[in-house]
Amino acid sequence: MTFNLLIWRQQGPDQPGKMVPYQADGVSPDMSFLEMLDELSQDLIKQGEDPIEFDSDCREGICGMCGLVINGVAHGPLKGTATCQLHMRHFEGVNAITIEPWRARAFPVVKDLVVDRSAFDRIIAAGGYISVNTGNAPEANAIPIGKVDADSAFDAATCIGCGACVAACPNASASLFTGAKITQFTYLPQGAPERKERVIRMVSQMDEEDFGVCSNFGECEAVCPKEISILTIATMKREYIKAAIS
């Protein structure tokens, strides 16, 4: 398989960037998308050029580091799939592929396709610690939790913090990410002691990081590799209003 690639290249945060064309030849349908970029980078190194910088770690759709905008869609064309889980067979019949980094003021480009997502870390840190002293692992049924609440908490907890929600949102909002992190504690009794302080601090930090506001476009939910529900945003807003007036 041969692909005409148009890839964003940028030497540094303060340098101008541009889309640069490349041709990837001999691409196996069984290659992952990141393996294809690895092969292209090896060819560039042999030609004396800089390799293409991009983030990745687990390559199993767990860590969230691999996020790229592929043909205008965060993580690419497959629903519920991170970039590292995408294979080139999914591009059969496609000749041209554009590859860009997450684009948001709160995610400044470090180099090429690598962006600084430490704003997410600061939102998490703003939420503080869970003060419940768990000690040794408790018996699974020691704290009764309703199935609906347990399912809601664990569904939200699957968020891997990749930032696709921000990249896809026309406003570059981090509401889905922040909503998921708040929701995972809201429905569990262990999160109750700091419940009010947590939501106030995390939402305030999200605003301070210069993310946009949520306008209910729903693009965040559409591209999330873990298919986090937009209902987590409603939970966040409800919790924030309750905390603010109490």
pLDDT at 136: 78
191/223: higher pLDDT? 223
Query: Is 1.10.260.40 the CATH classification of the domain at 117-245?
Result: no
- Would you place residue 134 in the very low, low, confident or very high pLDDT band (cuts 50, 70, 90)? low
Helix axes 231-245, 175-186, angle to 10 degrees: 70
DSSP letters of 107-172? Answer: B-EEETTEE--HHHHHHHHHT--------SPPPTTSS---HHHHHHHHHHHT-----HHHHHSTT-
Q: Is it the case that residue 135 has pLDDT exceeding 80?
A: no
- Would you place residue 144 in the very low, low, confident or very high pLDDT band (cuts 50, 70, 90)? confident
pLDDT at 140: 66
CATH superfamily label, 3-100: Beta-grasp domain (3.10.20.30)
pLDDT per residue over 84-104, tens digit each? Answer: 999 999 999 999 999 999 999
Task: Give per-residue burial for 11-39: e unless 16+ CB within 10 Å, then b.
Answer: eeeeeeeeeeebebeebeeebbbbbbbbb
Please state the domain extents for the chain.
3-100, 117-245
Mean pLDDT of 141-170: 93
> pLDDT > 70: what percent of the chain?
99
